[in-house]
Amino acid sequence: KEIEVILLGDASGSMYSIYERVLRAMLGIFESLRVARTAVSVWVHTSNGGDFQDIPTLFHIASHRMHRETSNAQVAFGKATLIDLRENYDGFAIKAVANHFTARNAKRVLIVLSDGEPAGRGYHSSLAIGHTKRAVNELRRQHKCEIISISLVKGVDKKNDDIYGKE
């Protein structure tokens, strides 16, 4: 069975000090999957600075065998450093990016790279964690999508486990 992988990176202000490392990690994963001839698409998300009803703002970075083909991933990832880092509304972004899976019969895998804490204006603490957890569970249930979260900072394991599960 074919596999489709979407990488979703957090491009919010809290990621400022590690954002370029995140992009390098995503580029490495992208290139490895491309060489393995696996369909992969890379996105990052932030907000437009308004209320959370106006989000998410998704930026497509690169694709292989999904959407339009990226000819030069290095250049595409370089442009991603120019994104204005704002707020992260993870639950909304997860729901929105799920619409970009293409193959009906492929196994779907979403890999989320973040600092583990959804937060934005009017969207924080238990509200944000609960909303993101519901979005993750809905995607798993309705779209048969495997979701993996990679925490990029120390001390968020418990929150990440609460949202994504320990598996």
Q: For 128-143, what is each residue's pLDDT tens digit?
A: 999 999 999 999 998 8
pLDDT at 55: 57
pLDDT at 110: 97
pLDDT at 14: 87
Q: Is the pLDDT of residue 56 over 80?
A: no
Q: Which residues contact 135 (CB under 8 A, 6 or more apart)?
A: 90, 91, 92, 94, 95
| pLDDT grade for 75, boundaries at 50, 70 and 90 | confident
Q: How far apart are CA 78 and CA 76, in angstroms?
A: 5
Q: How far apart are CA 32 and CA 35, in angstroms?
A: 5
Element (H, E) at 111: strand 107-114
